[in-house]
């Protein structure tokens, strides 16, 4: 699960000319902002990015990403494994102004110099495609259920115990 196949940066002067394809895995250690919304650092991100020119000579970044990560279940607050996946269709632009001139179908990715930060790009796409709230399948929040059941049990024992005491007293009376 080496992430060495994904370089830190791509040179935007070369990758589109060469129609480069970059694919491989990225460790969560290289995605600090994404990692912050996760329950732990266990996970795997795999991706493929293609760099091409569009019909209007836009610099297109297309591809896909998949990730297996752990988020917090919002019901029981325990880790929950989820799979996220997304297609990537971005147009690389130099600034906000160029972004405004893009075809509405294309989302801009602004890179002001020649160094395209690949992890940053992937990280942003991952954050966008990860659901804001996730829950275990209904009935799978074991810890939460156990906790509630335990609480109920304690309550019922507490409320029943005076009668149990009375009953045992009564029993001992009648046995006399
Ligand atoms: Zn849960």
At 75-108, the pLDDT tens digits run 999 999 999 999 999 999 999 999 999 988 899 9
Q: How far is the CA of 52 from the centre of ligand 1 (A)?
A: 43
Q: How far is the CA of 145 from the centre of ligand 1 (A)?
A: 9
pTM: 0.76
Mean pLDDT of 45-70: 96
Q: How far is the CA of 95 from the centre of ligand 1 (A)?
A: 43
Q: How far is the CA of 131 from the centre of ligand 1 (A)?
A: 15
CA distance 24 to 5: 6
* Residue 21 CB contacts under 8 Å (≥ 6 apart), including other chains: 48, 49, 50, 51
User: Quick one: pLDDT at residue 172?
Assistant: 57
DSSP character string of 18-86:
TT-EEEEEE-GGG-HHHHTTSSSS-EEEEEEEEEEE-TTS-EEEEEEEEEEEEEEBTTT-SEEEEEEEE
CA distance 18 to 114: 15
59 closest CA partner among 9, 5, 2, 116:
116
Q: How far is the CA of 9 from the centre of ligand 1 (A)?
A: 38
Q: Largest Cα–Cα distance in the chain?
A: 101
* pLDDT of 42 higher than 60: yes
CA angle 5, 54, 85 (to 5 degrees): 45
User: Quick one: pLDDT at residue 145?
Assistant: 45
CA distance 38 to 22: 25
At 22-35, the pLDDT tens digits run 999 999 999 999 99
Torsions phi, psi of 165, nearest 5?
Answer: -65, -45
Q: How far is the CA of 135 from the centre of ligand 1 (A)?
A: 5
Mean pLDDT of 99-119: 94
Domain ranges of the chain: 9-129, 141-176
């Amino acid at each position: 699960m080496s992430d060495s196949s994904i370089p830190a940066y791509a040179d935007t002067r070369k990758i589109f000319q060469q129609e480069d394809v970059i694919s491989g895995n990225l460790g969560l250690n290289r995605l600090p902002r994404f990692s912050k919304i996760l329950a732990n650092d266990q996970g795997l991100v795999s991706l493929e990015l293609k760099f091409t020119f569009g019909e209007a000579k836009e610099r297109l970044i297309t591809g896909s990403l998949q990730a297996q990560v752990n988020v917090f279940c919002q019901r029981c607050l325990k880790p929950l494994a989820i799979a996220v996946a997304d297609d990537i269709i971005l147009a690389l632009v130099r600034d906000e102004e160029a972004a405004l001139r893009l075809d509405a179908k294309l989302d801009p990715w602004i890179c002001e110099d020649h160094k395209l930060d690949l992890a940053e790009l992937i990280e942003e796409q991952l954050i966008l495609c990860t659901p804001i709230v996730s829950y275990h399948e209904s009935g799978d929040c074991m810890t939460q259920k156990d906790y509630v059941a335990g609480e109920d049990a304690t309550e019922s024992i507490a409320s029943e115990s005076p009668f149990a005491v009375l009953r045992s007293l009564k029993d001992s009376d009648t046995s006399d």
